[in-house]
Amino acid sequence: MTVDHDDVTDVDETAEEITETAGQIDGEDAGDRDDAAAVKTEEAASEGQPQPLAGVLKRWLVPIVLAVLLLGSAGLATWAYLAQFRPDQLTNDAVAAATIKAASEGTVALLSYSPDTLDKDFAAAKTHLTGDFLNYYTQFTQDIVTPAAKQKQVKTSTMIMKAAVSELKPTSAVVLVFLNQTTTSKDNPDGSFSGSTVKVGLTKVNGTWLISKFDPV
């Protein structure tokens, strides 16, 4: 049997092509296997190792930042209420009326007394006072007013003609009081009449407006 040279050459070339193709396939399969193995190795490493710092911070800081923002919003709302709305509630028309009433009633109690009821009158007046002015009034009525009122039979009565708020704050106020006062005594039984204006300073103590200053104008 005779083998043609050309046929042998074709067979050899075909064999080489098959070998090259097989080598390429093997190389590609090996590369894919290497890539897959590398991915698995990285995944295993990531499971066994701590996450990057940036990731950890992001995971924890985002909720913290949101919580801080929410607390900040609540704090801002509270501040707005205390700084704006709360003082308005403490200095509204009803509060102004309360200060006028306290100043008027306190002024009448301070300037009205009778020689027969001095102790009672002064004790009642003290319930309208506070602070240094209370101490001053106590000393003044004890040392000066009481002896003079008893000796000369001095009696005074006071009537408020008008009162208006001059200054109003949550815990302090100034009320301008216009008054008429009638005074009788042993020397002047018919009495004398006088009008005056007083600037009454008030301080809020345990929810009650009390006189802390009393200045004639």
- Assess contact for 180 and 192: CB atoms under 8 A: no
How far apart (Å, rounded) are the C-alpha atoms in residues 83 and 32?
A: 70
Angle between the N-to-C axes of helices 93-111 and 118-126, in degrees from 0 to 180, rounded to the nearest 10: 160
DSSP summary character for residue 110: H
Average pLDDT rounded to a whole number, residues 148-177 = 95
Which segment of 12-26, 55-69, 95-109 scores lowest on mean pLDDT?
12-26
The enclosing H or E element of 66 equals helix 53-80
pLDDT digits (tens, 9 = 90+) for 24-45: 444 444 444 444 444 454 544 4
Predicted local confidence at residue 142, as pLDDT: 94
How far apart (Å, rounded) are the C-alpha atoms in residues 50 and 25?
A: 38
Contacts of 7 (CB under 8 A, 6+ apart): none
Angle between the N-to-C axes of helices 118-126 and 131-140, in degrees from 0 to 180, rounded to the nearest 10: 170
How far apart (Å, rounded) are the C-alpha atoms in residues 36 and 31?
A: 9
Does 204 score more than 90 pLDDT?
A: yes
pTM: 0.61
Predicted local confidence at residue 92, as pLDDT: 86
Predicted local confidence at residue 158, as pLDDT: 95
How far apart (Å, rounded) are the C-alpha atoms in residues 73 and 27?
A: 63
Predicted local confidence at residue 55, as pLDDT: 56
Question: What SS3 state is found at 129?
Answer: strand
61 band by pLDDT with thresholds 50, 70 and 90: low
Predicted local confidence at residue 113, as pLDDT: 95
Predicted local confidence at residue 147, as pLDDT: 93
Does 199 score more than 90 pLDDT?
A: yes
